[in-house]
Structure 1
Amino acid sequence: MRPDERPSSSRTTRSSSAPSRTAQSPCVGSASLSRTVLVTAGTAAFGASVWAALDRSHDGLSLLLVAFALLAVGAAWLERGPDSAKELALVATLGAAAAAGRVFFAAIPGVQPVTVIAVVAGAALGRRSGFAVGAIAAFVSNFFLGQGVWTPWQMLAWGACGVAGGLAASLLRRRVALAVFCFVLGLAFSAFMDVWNWLAFYDQHTWQTFVAVHARGLPFDLSHAIGNVVIAFVAGPELRRLLDRYNRRLHAEVVWA
């Protein structure tokens, strides 16, 4: 090689999840501890808000606890670094889109796209992101549809739909499988909210009163489930592929050799 020649550089990509050989500094340990404290505090606050929501007179307290939980978990998410900030921005955007869809379809009883979007987010981005999308969508949309003691329970229910999507990610690539899964989760979401309604508004907690509560809301439950099927068929796989591509780009890094 002549003196005036320089070795050419080649660019490759590798997953950011590859193990690092760098020594862990005290700052990294401190950041990990702060994330643990924030997540623990946020989880405890959210659990307390769900409990407080069983009493109709504690709606203000339950919403305050929810706000604290969102701030704590969001701060913990940002502590993970620049990639986590990008992921959080995507999750917030998906949550806002799901909330907007819920508000837009509010005139049609039971039709709520939040379930499908949370499931697809969980399948493409992971259980943590799926839970966050569902919870954010419930919290934001209720600023337009009405906040109350039901908000923490809706956040928990739609967040659980996102977690379920993450657990069943490998099974949800086909349109029919996704539609059936969202149909079942639509019924499960409604049944979960019936439990809250039964616990919060009825003095006698018997099977008879629960069956009465569930039967009264069954037409809306079926509307929710059928709406999920339609939305999943129309846009589910396309949204999944879009988020899969973004997720691969988000967790890849460029290495110059």
Structure 2
Amino acid sequence: MRRLLVVAVVLLGIALLTNDGALATVLGAAALVCAGVAWFESGTDSTRELAVIATLGAAAAAGRVVFAAIPGVQPVTVIAVVAGAALGLRAGVATGALAAFVSNLFLGQGIWTPQQMLGWAACGAVGALLAPALRNRYVLAAVCFVLGLLFSASMDVWLWYGFFPHTVAAFTAVIGRGLWFDLAHAIGNVVLALAVGPELRRMLDRYGKRLRTVVVWA
């Protein structure tokens, strides 16, 4: 864990010192990913929790690959949010980050991977923070709609800052070019959240109770 934190600090320091926008964003995102992994490793060592996180991450990744033919539409946001709401902050963050990394093994790894891992990890964190409200199907759909827009906007801003001139015209062009894909992501989230969100939440709630159950032998 300490080594990962040292790596994170070094990467962040280089990111702050460099004048290259693309390099700065990649190193900054990688630093935060390293810090997140270190934080995850410092948690409870539950093989059952790790198993369910791995399963959710793999399911989200598989869904993203399956929906790849429809630009912007994928289930990662909804699954990460529900995982965070039902299983807690650690599980939500890990599910989102893992889904991004695993799905990119099939869709293509690149300098965008750390940024996507951070974005979907943040979606899992929001799910954990808003857990009580997300029991309502329509609130869940609304939150996933907003997170879809924010995730896509964060990727657009990353693209603009790292690879385009830092001008209003360039920023407007990047946002405009990605607008339809951003809306597809958000609307797809609404459809998936309304269709399967509450059912997935109830299933994970039951599993979460089993994870937290402590058996005491007399």
Query: What is the TM-score normalised by the length of structure 1?
Result: 0.74
What is the 5 A alignment of 1:172-211? 172-202=134-164, 204-211=165-172
Match of 2:42 among 76, 80, 89: 76
What is the 5 A alignment of 1:1-257? 37=2, 40-41=5-6, 44=9, 54-55=21-22, 72=38, 75-77=41-43, 80-81=44-45, 84-202=46-164, 204-257=165-218
CA distance in 2, matches of 1:174, 1:234: 13
**What is the RMSD of the two structures over their aligned residues, measured on CA atoms?**
3.0
| Contact 1:63-1:149 at 8 Å conserved across structures | no
Residue 155 of structure 1 aligns with an amino acid whose one-letter code is M
SS in structure 2 at match of 1:182: helix
| Distance change >3 Å, CA 97–CA 214, structure 1 → 2 | same
Comparing 46-55 with 228-237, greater Cα deviation is found at 46-55
Residue 126 of structure 2 aligns with an amino acid whose one-letter code is A
Structure 1 residue 207: Cα displacement:
2.6
| Contact 1:94-1:133 at 8 Å conserved across structures | yes
CA distance in 2, matches of 1:133, 1:214: 28
Structure 1 residue 255: Cα displacement:
2.5
CA distance in 2, matches of 1:41, 1:132: 20
| Contact 1:46-1:152 at 8 Å conserved across structures | no
Query: What is the TM-score normalised by the length of structure 2?
Result: 0.86
SS in structure 1 at match of 2:73: coil
CA distance in 2, matches of 1:45, 1:235: 42
CA distance in 1, matches of 2:112, 2:36: 16
| Distance change >3 Å, CA 104–CA 210, structure 1 → 2 | same
Identity of aligned residues (%): 58
Q: Deviations over 1:33-55 (max 9, x none)?
A: xx6x3673475478579889953
Residue 200 of structure 2 aligns with an amino acid whose one-letter code is L
Structure 1 residue 190: Cα displacement:
0.6
CA distance in 2, matches of 1:155, 1:253: 32
| Contact 2:81-2:126 at 8 Å conserved across structures | yes
CA distance in 2, matches of 1:228, 1:179: 7
**Structure 1: which 5+ runs fail to align?**
1-34
| Contact 2:8-2:30 at 8 Å conserved across structures | no
Q: Between Structure 1 and Structure 2, which shows a larger proportion of helix residues?
A: 2
